[in-house]
């Protein structure tokens, strides 16, 4: 075989060997491209998922923040309503019992502030219910205490005002009457027992025992019985005021003062404690937003 034939055969062999090699190389390149595409796809999916989760977290955080602000607003309104009701009660009680009886009667204070005090009693009870609903526990507990102290304050000031108004009505009705008139005799008997009580030295507890325990003789109790007997003879239209006036006259002045001062101080303490608890909650809600 000549050189030309040998060259042709060699070229054919090279071509035959080159075809599978090209196929193998092409397959490798295709696999590499597929792997690159898969990795790129996975990276794209991971990035998309991360972006979605970030957006979802942002929306969730915004929703939680909006809900916290809404809840804080509800609590703030509830706490404010309770404190305003307490302030209304304190103001009405002070106006109801301050100043001369004659001045308060002439200005209609007993009627107007008595009504305001009754409204405050209802308002603070309603406000405390809302605080209990909105929570949390600590302000709700303090609110309940504040309501009890406020009611005590209202009772003490209301009863004092009622006694003062009754005394004014009795004395006004007595003016100009004869000394032996039943109403005059009742007022005189009440004033006598009141004078003895004012100089009583053994204190409120001993006085209460002496007035109600009949195991031993008692001048004050005898004077009390005389006043009650005189009460039964006054005009029926005045007996309710007369009973209120007499009942108030039988209380030791130290006891009256202690009751009022105690009710005022306890009411103020309860209000301060509730205010501190409310601020703690609202400040905590604010810093957590």
Rounded CA gap, 120 and 82, in Å? 10
Cα angle, residue 187 at apex, residues 186 and 188 outer, rounded to 5°: 90
Determine the pLDDT at residue 287. Answer: 45
CA distance 157 to 153: 6
pLDDT at position 115, please?
94
C-beta separation of 234 from 183 below 8 A: yes
Q: Is the peptide bond before 136 cis (omega within 30 degrees of 0)?
A: yes
Long-range contacts of 214-221 (CB under 8 A, 24+ apart): 220/193, 220/196
pLDDT of res. 288 = 41
Query: Which residues of the chain have a pLDDT value below 50?
Result: 14, 286-289
> Hey, what are 95's tokens?
């106006």
| Burial class of residue 185 in the structure, from the number of CB atoms within 10 Å of its CB (0-12 exposed, 13-18 middle, 19+ buried) | buried
The whole-number pLDDT of residue 61 equals: 63
Distance CA(150)–CA(155), nearest Å, equals: 9
In the chain, where the domains are located: 6-38, 72-288
Query: What distance in Å separates the CA atoms of residue 140 and residue 274, rounded to the nearest whole number?
Result: 9
**CA separation for the pair 88, 97 (Å, rounded):** 14
pTM reported for the whole predicted model: 0.74
Interval 242-268: pLDDT, tens:
999 999 998 888 888 999 999 999 999
pLDDT at 282: 92
pLDDT of residue 289: 39
Q: Which two tokens stand for residue 157?
A: 């000031």
Tokens linked to 217: 């003789």
């Amino acid at each position: 075989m000549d050189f030309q034939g040998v060259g042709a055969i060699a070229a054919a062999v090279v071509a035959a060997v080159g075809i599978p090699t090209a196929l193998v190389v092409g397959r490798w390149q295709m696999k590499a491209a597929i792997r690159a595409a898969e990795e790129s796809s996975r990276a794209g999916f991971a990035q998309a998922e991360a972006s979605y989760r970030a957006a979802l977290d942002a929306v969730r955080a915004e929703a939680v923040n909006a809900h916290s602000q809404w809840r804080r607003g509800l609590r703030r309104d509830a706490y404010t309503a309770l404190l305003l009701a307490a302030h209304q009660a304190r103001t009405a009680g002070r106006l109801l019992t301050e100043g001369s009886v004659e001045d308060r009667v002439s200005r209609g204070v007993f009627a107007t502030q008595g009504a305001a005090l009754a409204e405050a009693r209802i308002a603070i009870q309603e406000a405390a219910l809302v605080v209990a609903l909105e929570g949390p526990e600590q302000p709700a507990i303090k609110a309940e205490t504040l309501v009890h102290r406020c009611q005590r304050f209202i009772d003490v000031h209301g009863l004092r005002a009622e006694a003062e108004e009754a005394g004014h009505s009795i004395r006004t009705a007595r003016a100009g009457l004869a000394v032996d008139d039943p109403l005059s005799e009742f007022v005189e008997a009440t004033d006598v027992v009141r004078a003895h009580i004012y100089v009583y030295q053994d204190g409120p507890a001993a006085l209460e025992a002496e007035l109600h325990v009949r195991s031993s003789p008692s001048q004050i109790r005898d004077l009390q019985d005389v006043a009650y007997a005189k009460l039964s003879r006054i005009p029926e239209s005045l007996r309710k005021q007369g009973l209120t006036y007499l009942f108030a006259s039988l209380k030791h002045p130290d006891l009256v003062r202690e009751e009022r001062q105690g009710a005022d101080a306890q009411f103020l303490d309860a209000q301060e404690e509730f205010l501190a608890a409310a601020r703690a909650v609202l400040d905590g809600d604010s810093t957590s937003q």
